[in-house]
Structure 1
Amino acid sequence: MIDLAGSERASNTKNRGLRLKEGAAINRSLLALGNVINSLSSGAKTKFINYRDSKLTRLLKESLGGSAKTCMIAHVTQASGHFEETYNTLVYAARANTIVLKV
């Protein structure tokens, strides 16, 4: 199980220094994962899927494009202060839901 929480704006978290760098690295990995999910959900069979952009996508290669059975749980909130994050999570999950694995 992998927890993908952490895609937050630096201005919202008020992180500085090392925490800011860690957050930026997490967000880069999540962006790479989003790119892989977009490529897989587009349905193009001959399109190159770049799993090499981050360690996260390399680790998840077999789960996303291989022969594994995969489950994604999207955690959202109804709080109006987190509308944008909730919306982005639902869009991300909807794209991931369109991936068809050959098991």
Structure 2
Amino acid sequence: MNENNSERASQTGATGIRFKEKKHINQSLMSLGVVIKNLCALATGRSDQGPTPYRDSKLTMLLKDAVGGNSKTVMIATISLADQDYEQTLSTLRYVNRVKSIRNKVIANVSKTDVFIKELWKRKKPC
């Protein structure tokens, strides 16, 4: 497990079920970080990366279309100004900064039915 994660069990004193929850959160965030890193590499033209590992966690599977699909990506981060949280805040800001490098090609989703209906309205003769 990475030392620079946003759910540090040592700081919260979590044990038992809460510790297991934090462990799963950390694993999902690390998987999301790998996906973001891969998408950033693709955006900068470095195609030496393998396929984007969306299947590594449930979080990345849920966010597949939002992060690497036909959409715009926004990430909101919560940080602390306290001295004791400096390293964690810096790690969070670096994590979020990588998201800025993702470049998606957003294309308007238009169904064939919508196009057909618009075409019918254009052909309609006034009464």
TM-score (norm 1): 0.87
% identity of equivalent residues:
47
Residue of 43, 56, 60 corresponding to 2:63: 60
Give the ranges of 4+ consecutive aligned residues of structure 1 lying more than 4 Å apart after TM superposition.
none
In structure 2, the gaps of 5 or more residues are: 107-127
In structure 2, the partner of 1:91 is: 94
Aligned residue for 1:42, secondary structure, equals: helix
Matched, 1:40 2:39: yes
* Amino acid aligned to 1:61: K
CA-based RMSD of the aligned residues comes to 1.5
In structure 2, the partner of 1:22 is: 21
In structure 1, the gaps of 5 or more residues are: 1-5
Matched, 1:51 2:50: no
Q: Quote the offset at 1:42 in angstroms.
A: 1.2
Count of aligned residue pairs for this structure pair:
98
Say whether the 8 Å CA contact 1:7–1:26 is kept in structure 2: no
TM-score (norm 2): 0.72
Q: Quote the offset at 1:95 in angstroms.
A: 0.7
Structure number with larger C-alpha Rg: 2
- Quote the Cα distance in structure 2 between the aligned partners of 1:35 and 1:63: 15
